[in-house]
A = this chain, B = another copy of it.
Amino acid sequence: MQYGTIIRILGLLVSLFSVTMLPPALVSLIYGDGGGLAFVVAFIFTLITGLAFWYPHRQEKADLRAKEGFLIVVLFWTVLATFGSLPFALLDQPQMSITDSLFESFSSLTTTGATVIEGLDFMPKAVLFYRAQLQWLGGMGIIVLAVAILPILGVGGMQLYRAEIPGPVKDSKMTPRIADTAKHLWYIYLSLTVACSFAYWLAGMNLFDAVCHAFSTIAIGGFSNYDANIGHFNSTAVNIICVVFLWISALNFSLHYSAVSGRNIRNYFKDPECKAFFTIQFVLVTICFLVLVKYSVYDSAEVTLDQALFQAVSISATAGFTTTDFSAWPSFLPILLIFSSFIGGCAGSTAGGLKVIRVLLLFIQGKREVDRLIHPKAVYSVKLGERAIPSRVVEAVWGFFAAYAVVFVVIMIGLIGTGLDNITAFSATAAALNNLGPGLGSVAGTYAQVSDAGKWLLMTAMLFGRLEIFSLLVLFSPAFWRS
């Protein structure tokens, strides 16, 4: 293991990350909310620590293998989330324990959006800005992870998106390629954020709210500046803007890249994952609408459609924004929406869940198994559109699916062990693992009432979900640590 190189890279990342604590300090200065000192202290501490790790190893640039790639990916999220918790721990308002600070930071950076802070409406602006910005940064990290890094590492069948053959990855080739891809993706990411901010502002939000909510929308994070979340604005325009930008953010950013680079805008319509995603969205919104009408939950058809559209999209795309208490919706709707978050958005997006492409592959292969039973002698290959999928990819997707289920069951049983009731534990595990945010039962609002042990389990689940299970799971294999 090339520890020197790993420490160099992490030191550099931590140093860069420290700079992101300055904008909240500036916000604090502008609004005079008294939270500025915590951010400045956290900035200085983070910067110095980062540099202290980087400096002794600044010359170490060894070639990296897949192993080092996994370690860097896991450390990227854990180390940054740990430093990211510093401002929360240092702040006078809100007063937060170490566990709560870490929970809020992990939840932000993984774009889960589960919160332990109650009374958001009265929080310092700097804190609200910092949370939204953490989600946004997490989203940037995920885009690069999902589009550029996981395909190279071959996690959960994502080699599907890779041109290269499997094998060791040379740092000398990998770093520039990742950096180049990242630059293009972030440009799109930033443009979308600006466009979303502008749209929110036009719809009546003030500039601060518009920027914060654009951050958490494009990151599919789900944080809001208000306890009532997006429901605070009580505006159909805001809801529709949110839905549209969630849809855009839940698509594979590679598609956006090919559209922007002028190569092909028709890719959206040809992409099987994109088509499946919108089919699922349409079905979910329709079901929610019909059931809400049947139970006469809202006064008019317009309000019903507004709420059905917003909640179905927000939960199934794993944003976790709320305009209404969907956990109190009638019949099977709360459970249906929680289940839908297991599918989530498209690969290469900021959404969580298993990802549409994987569910689509499982569906196609399930169909093939039925065909095989009917015609045992025929030879069937798994095809996605016109593309035959190598069996290695299909196997990796199945492995991902099973590992997801096992992690889910273990975390859920653990949570019940900490004293949560069954349905709260079930939905909290789903909400954390799918990087969704809100659950049902006693975690329909905040996670403040969950025990410390429960919060640690949920942080683990968030990390498993965000790192597509296997990036984290490989670290538990003894073979990983053998030289």
Contact = CB atoms under 8 A, between A and B. Distances in A.
Nearest to A399: B369
A16 to B, nearest CB: 27
Contacts of A373: 66, 70, 153-155, 470, 474
Interface string A247-289: 0000000000000000000000000000000000000000000
Interface stretch (A126-134, A137-145, A197-205, A400-408): A400-408
A417 interface: yes
A412 B335 contact: yes
Contact of A405 (B155, B365, B405, B480): B405
A358 to B, nearest CB: 10
A167 B376 contact: yes
Copies in the complex: 2
A362 B331 contact: no
Dominant SS at the A interface?
Answer: helix
A440 B67 CA distance: 44
A374 interface: yes
Contacts of A409: 339
Interface stretch (A89-97, A180-188, A215-223, A389-397): A389-397
Interface in A301-359: 331-332, 334-336, 339
A406 B401 CA distance: 12
A166 B480 CA distance: 39
Name the interface size band of chain A. 35 or more
Contacts of A473: 370
Contact of A480 (B374, B376, B414): B374
A291 B371 CA distance: 46
Contact of A374 (B405, B426, B440, B479): B479
Contact of A366 (B168, B374, B377, B402): B402
A335 to B, nearest CB: 6
Contacts of A377: 166-168
A417 B331 contact: yes
Contacts of A22: none
A449 interface: no
A178 interface: no
A477 interface: yes
Contact of A365 (B70, B331, B398, B422): B398
A130 to B, nearest CB: 34
Interface of A: 66-67, 70, 153-155, 166-168, 331-332, 334-336, 339, 362, 365-366, 368-377, 391, 394-396, 398-403, 405-406, 409, 412-414, 416-417, 419, 422-423, 425-426, 440, 470, 473-474, 477, 479-480
18 contacts: A70-B373, A154-B372, A167-B377, A168-B376, A334-B422, A335-B425, A362-B402, A365-B398, A366-B403, A368-B399, A369-B396, A369-B470, A370-B470, A375-B479, A391-B395, A422-B426, A422-B440, A423-B423
Given A154-B376, A365-B399, 9 more contacts: A67-B374, A153-B373, A155-B373, A166-B376, A332-B414, A335-B422, A339-B413, A369-B403, A401-B402
